[in-house]
Amino acid sequence: MSQLLSGQVALVTGAAAGIGRATAQAFAREGIKVVVSDVDAQGGEATVELIRAAGGEATFIRCDVTRDAEVQALVAGTVAAYGRLDYAFNNAGIEIEQGKLADGQESEFDAIIGVNVKGVWLCMKHQIPVMLAQGGGAIVNTASVAGLGAAPKMSIYAASKHAVIGLTKSAAIEYAKKKVRINAVCPAVIDTDMFRRAYEVDPKKAEFAAAMHPVGRVGKVEEIASAVLYLCSDNAGFTTGIALPVDGGATAI
């Protein structure tokens, strides 16, 4: 068992599809009430319907995580809906750029850093006070294996994920004695809509992606969800400030 407490409350950003949707569903299966958030209202509502159809409890709140007022409203709306906030999975992110650093565009930089870094910072900024007031909580941020090393032709994305890990570790130390645990999960290539869009254009990318993992395949969204639930659970009660690779052995090479 994951040792999450049934009846508690989780907030998942970027939950309209992929890893976010799978994690929202995984929380709900544990009896957790889930606030699903995304800029994609249609996808977010679809996630809520999937949770409710399976007997879970969920509600959707639209939020652009780059806007402070919207993030503040998201966290306040979570507390208004369910009375508390026990777990947060700050997963909202945007796709990588495809090109060498000198070919990058300022608009790409602003967009990627805005969502992937500022978005995580704003979410924690508003989630942590709620958790402090209620006596504790657990936060997991989505980083990437690209945040653990070099990532040629995706330097802006890599920089954003290095920054997520820096935010995670720093905040974890700041609040370690306040019973707010903060960790990051670092997926490698995962079978999501984003991944499928890439390999539908070039099928060789799928073969390359599988080969870059020693296990010989890309990851599943459910495998990332399981890692997130572990990091939120009491089983990880002595774990804070880590960046956990879930990568089929890719970073072990």
Catalytic residues: 157
Strand pairing category for 58-62 and 33-38: parallel
Two tokens, residue 176: 């370690």
Cα–Cα dist 106/120, whole Å? 20
Cα–Cα dist 32/27, whole Å? 5
Cα–Cα dist 64/52, whole Å? 24
Cα–Cα dist 138/127, whole Å? 10
Cα–Cα dist 228/215, whole Å? 21
DSSP 244: E
Taking the alpha carbons at both ends of the chain, their separation in whole angstroms is 31
